[in-house]
């Protein structure tokens, strides 16, 4: 086959637990949209167009894939409005039906648990990156939790540049007047008018004349005594 192409795990192709061809088609489409292991966030209509089926069939297939543990769905927000869903495909180990038995003393965590842990680590990593940009470094533990909570309302891609702008626009402020990061993220302060973060403009002093009053008297003419 000639490139470009995308990959679908062999275990997914060999799996016999898909309830319909739609589930396999939707799973394959998500593999394409999330090529190279990245998360995917196509709309239902986009998936329907790629799989040549109806939007309602896509919704049913996504629900079935989620119930079986093939993917994790997380809402993506811009402000307080949900824009789309983010889909994370889980490890293909979930599809294996012929895994050889492992002695009890060496039984690993279940694949589903492992994938959840990986997603959690990724969430913490993104939160720590946002924390590293925020201009005040206090209360890191509660700050990370607040940022993770914020990332359920606004995507990482949208939040990061806003925090960068806040850090840049508040360099003039004394750190004591910058809110703790947990407070800032808990209050959804990324929605603030960014002009409010800038240094106030100096006020004009109207009591101080900018120039001397010009006399209307002609100095060349003699004055009366």
Neighbours of 2 (CB within 10 A): 4
Q: How many whole angstroms separate alpha carbon 31 and alpha carbon 158?
A: 24
Percent over 90 (pLDDT), the chain: 35
Q: Are 80 and 90 in contact (CB under 8 A)?
A: no
What pLDDT is stored for residue 96 in this prediction? 44
Cα dihedral 14, 18, 23, 27, rounded to 10, equals -40
- Residue 130: exposure state from Cβ atoms within 10 A (0-12, 13-18, ≥19): buried
Q: Is the pLDDT of residue 143 over 80?
A: yes
Mean residue pLDDT of the chain comes to: 78
> Cis before residue 44, ω within 30 degrees of 0?
no
What pLDDT is stored for residue 65 in this prediction? 86
> What one-character DSSP code corresponds to residue 215?
P
List the one residue out of 51, 1, 62 whose CA is nearest residue 29: 51
What pLDDT is stored for residue 111 in this prediction? 46
Q: How many whole angstroms separate alpha carbon 53 and alpha carbon 26?
A: 10
Cα angle: 149, vertex 130, 181; to 5 degrees: 65
Per-residue pLDDT band for 72 (boundaries 50, 70, 90) equals confident
Dump pLDDT digits (tens) for 146-162: 999 998 888 888 899 99
Dump pLDDT digits (tens) for 24-43: 899 888 888 876 566 788 88
Dump pLDDT digits (tens) for 78-136: 666 767 788 888 755 454 444 443 444 444 444 444 556 666 777 888 899 999 999 99
What pLDDT is stored for residue 105 in this prediction? 45
List the one residue out of 41, 47, 43, 44 whose CA is nearest residue 28: 47
Domains of the chain: 1-95 (1.10.10.10), 110-198 (no CATH)
Helix (H, G, I), strand (E, B) or coil at 123: helix
């Amino acid at each position: 086959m000639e490139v470009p192409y995308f990959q679908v795990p062999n275990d997914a192709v060999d799996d016999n637990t898909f309830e319909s061809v739609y589930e396999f088609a939707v799973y394959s489409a998500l593999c394409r949209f999330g090529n190279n292991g990245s998360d995917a966030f196509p709309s239902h209509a986009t998936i329907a167009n790629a799989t040549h089926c109806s939007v309602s069939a896509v919704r049913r297939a996504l629900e079935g894939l989620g119930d079986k543990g093939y993917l994790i769905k997380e809402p993506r927000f811009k402000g307080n409005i949900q824009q789309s869903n983010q889909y994370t495909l889980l490890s293909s180990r979930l599809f294996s039906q012929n895994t050889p038995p492992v002695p009890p003393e060496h039984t690993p965590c279940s694949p589903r648990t492992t994938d959840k842990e990986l997603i959690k680590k990724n969430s913490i990593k993104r939160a720590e990156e946002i924390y590293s940009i925020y201009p005040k470094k206090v209360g890191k533990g509660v700050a990370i939790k607040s940022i993770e909570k914020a990332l359920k309302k606004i995507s990482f891609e949208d939040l990061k540049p806003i925090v960068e702008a806040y850090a840049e626009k508040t360099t003039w402020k004394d750190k004591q007047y910058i809110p703790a990061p947990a407070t800032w993220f808990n209050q959804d302060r990324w929605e603030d008018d960014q002009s409010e973060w800038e240094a106030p403009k100096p006020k004009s002093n109207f009591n101080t004349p900018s120039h001397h009053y010009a006399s209307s008297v002609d100095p060349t003419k003699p004055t009366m005594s």
